[in-house]
Chains A and B, each alone.
Chain A
């Protein structure tokens, strides 16, 4: 295997939120196979800056696959072809020389493009703000074992809490639904004793907010799970729906969005 490859990039360029976007082609020759995908884009951006052109805007922060900042679609696959990884942890050795790669931002009405491959994910913050927290002030951090949580419950809660909010689930869903994200955030609390008092109000408010933000509904195609860099299971969607229906049809809380939820 040679140490460098040549790739053709077709990148969505959009100068601003309101501006008209279009695809532009770039030839990248002699890309090191040891480079990460974002490092390859850094190289392209240097080239563009040296030529006096606008560099490609894309989000990134930790580049370790844990912060949730990065993400775009490569040849129709959110975060690229590898499973269980963000695009920053994708490496150029994954591709053959001469590959044609189409780079597109997450496409969703609730994720408007800010610029190029960068989208505005405020809608996720709005869902989170609708109930993805404990509304009671509990003072300082308690001793680790003050509230006992069973091993299974703790493990399950952690699986859901692994969500980094990158938005790949929305990008991959044919309905641009935020079901996996919202259900993971709901489910993480629902597994723990601290999450119980507000459990049903939380799910009602977060699900309703998700809909208000313009995300689609779940069609159970399971694309979200496959695209999720943290491998969050679609079982959280079932659990979330169950809690939502209970909240709306059975429980005496969670019926309206104005039910005195603290915070």
Chain B
């Protein structure tokens, strides 16, 4: 078994774990976004979606999956970051510069993925407290400003219509998109995937998916604030 531990604690192994868990989290976000978009429906679609989600098996799968993927993703990445920081040595460069000719956004995204992720940690903590841990009280109408039991839609809108919460969720959503802009394609690199025909598709597709996820989630607080 020691070979297994050695493999997954090596730099490449840690990156592999970070990549697998990262893509798992992306998959979760896609489902999360599709569900949340029911908010825009004028009917009770959002409330029905929330009710069936929380009374089904899917929520247990998501909870357990996230409880495994999140700590593993963060742990591996922070552990790598510590090694990476040490590798530069005590004396850093006086002047920072680049020789890259890729577009500036791609370069900046690749260098700020870690820092964006660390900020996201706070956002996720607040978000989980807000809408997951207090789900029961929101669902029975004692928290969050819902009109009555089961009226999660009104509760979400009431929360997001407060400017500070709305702004926080908008910023958190944009940051998620920025984090994934580099993260999705980098995950594939961590698996050692390279192909002259498919790699450009992964890079462009990853960027597009990150943009959809980022703007998709941002659209909700913005919509509520502008309503």
Tell me the A residues contacting B by CB distance below 8 Å: 10, 21, 23, 73, 75-78, 81, 83, 102, 104, 107-110, 112-113, 172, 174-177, 207-208, 211, 214-223, 226-227, 235, 237-245, 248-249, 255-256
Given A23-B94, A78-B99 in contact, is the A245-B84 Cβ separation under 8 Å?
A: no
B12 touches A245 (CB 8 A): yes
Pick the residue among A10, A21, A217, A221 that contacts B83 (CB under 8 A).
A217
Tell me the B residues contacting A by CB distance below 8 Å: 3, 6-7, 10-16, 80, 83-84, 86-89, 91-102, 107, 110-111, 113-114, 182, 185-186, 189-194, 199
B95 touches A75 (CB 8 A): yes
- What CA separation (Å) do A23 and B94 show in the bound complex? 10
Task: Give the shortest distance, in Å, between A250 (CB) and chain B (any CB).
Answer: 11
Please indicate the chain A residues that have their CB under 8 angstroms from the CB of B99 in the complex. 77-78, 81, 83, 172, 223, 226-227
Across chains A and B, which 10 residue pairs bring their CB atoms closest together, nearest first? A76-B97, A242-B192, A238-B194, A216-B87, A241-B192, A175-B84, A217-B11, A76-B95, A216-B84, A109-B89
A21 touches B91 (CB 8 A): yes
Please indicate the chain A residues that have their CB under 8 angstroms from the CB of B7 in the complex. 248-249
Please indicate the chain A residues that have their CB under 8 angstroms from the CB of B16 in the complex. 245
- What CA separation (Å) do A174 and B95 show in the bound complex? 13
Main secondary structure of the interface of A (DSSP, over half): mixed
Please indicate the chain B residues that have their CB under 8 angstroms from the CB of A220 in the complex. 110, 182, 185-186, 189-190
Given A81-B99, A248-B3: 9 more A-B contacts, CB < 8 Å = A83-B101, A107-B91, A110-B87, A175-B88, A216-B88, A220-B186, A223-B98, A226-B101, A241-B192
A241 touches B191 (CB 8 A): yes
B89 touches A73 (CB 8 A): no
Please indicate the chain B residues that have their CB under 8 angstroms from the CB of A176 in the complex. 84, 87-89
A221 touches B107 (CB 8 A): yes
Pick the residue among A81, A219, A222, A239 that contacts B102 (CB under 8 A).
A222
Nearest chain A residue, comparing its CB with the CB of B92: A107
Task: Give the shortest distance, in Å, between A168 (CB) and chain B (any CB).
Answer: 9
Please indicate the chain A residues that have their CB under 8 angstroms from the CB of B100 in the complex. 222-223, 226
Nearest chain B residue, comparing its CB with the CB of A221: B110
B93 touches A237 (CB 8 A): no
B98 touches A108 (CB 8 A): no
- What CA separation (Å) do A149 and B3 show in the bound complex? 35
30 examples of A-B residue contacts, CB within 8 angstroms: A76-B95, A102-B95, A108-B89, A109-B86, A109-B88, A110-B87, A113-B91, A172-B99, A174-B84, A174-B88, A177-B84, A207-B10, A211-B11, A214-B86, A217-B84, A218-B11, A218-B15, A219-B110, A219-B113, A221-B110, A222-B100, A222-B102, A222-B107, A226-B98, A241-B192, A242-B193, A245-B192, A248-B6, A248-B7, A255-B3
Task: Give the shortest distance, in Å, between A231 (CB) and chain B (any CB).
Answer: 11
**Most chain A beta-carbon neighbours within 10 Å: one of B93, B102, B190:** B93
B97 touches A244 (CB 8 A): no
Task: Give the shortest distance, in Å, between A12 (CB) and chain B (any CB).
Answer: 8
Task: Give the shortest distance, in Å, between B112 (CB) and chain A (any CB).
Answer: 10
Please indicate the chain B residues that have their CB under 8 angstroms from the CB of A244 in the complex. 12, 192
Given A75-B97, A174-B84, A249-B7 in contact, is the A217-B92 Cβ separation under 8 Å?
A: no
- What CA separation (Å) do A174 and B14 show in the bound complex? 18
Task: Give the shortest distance, in Å, between B15 (CB) and chain A (any CB).
Answer: 6
A256 touches B3 (CB 8 A): yes
- What CA separation (Å) do A262 and B10 show in the bound complex? 24
**Most chain B beta-carbon neighbours within 10 Å: one of A77, A235, A238, A243:** A238
Nearest chain A residue, comparing its CB with the CB of B91: A107
**Most chain B beta-carbon neighbours within 10 Å: one of A220, A227, A242:** A220
- What CA separation (Å) do A217 and B80 show in the bound complex? 7
A241 touches B87 (CB 8 A): no
B87 touches A243 (CB 8 A): no
**Most chain A beta-carbon neighbours within 10 Å: one of B80, B100, B101:** B100
Task: Give the shortest distance, in Å, between B48 (CB) and chain A (any CB).
Answer: 42
- What CA separation (Å) do A256 and B10 show in the bound complex? 13
Please indicate the chain B residues that have their CB under 8 angstroms from the CB of A207 in the complex. 10-12
Please indicate the chain B residues that have their CB under 8 angstroms from the CB of A110 in the complex. 87
B87 touches A219 (CB 8 A): no
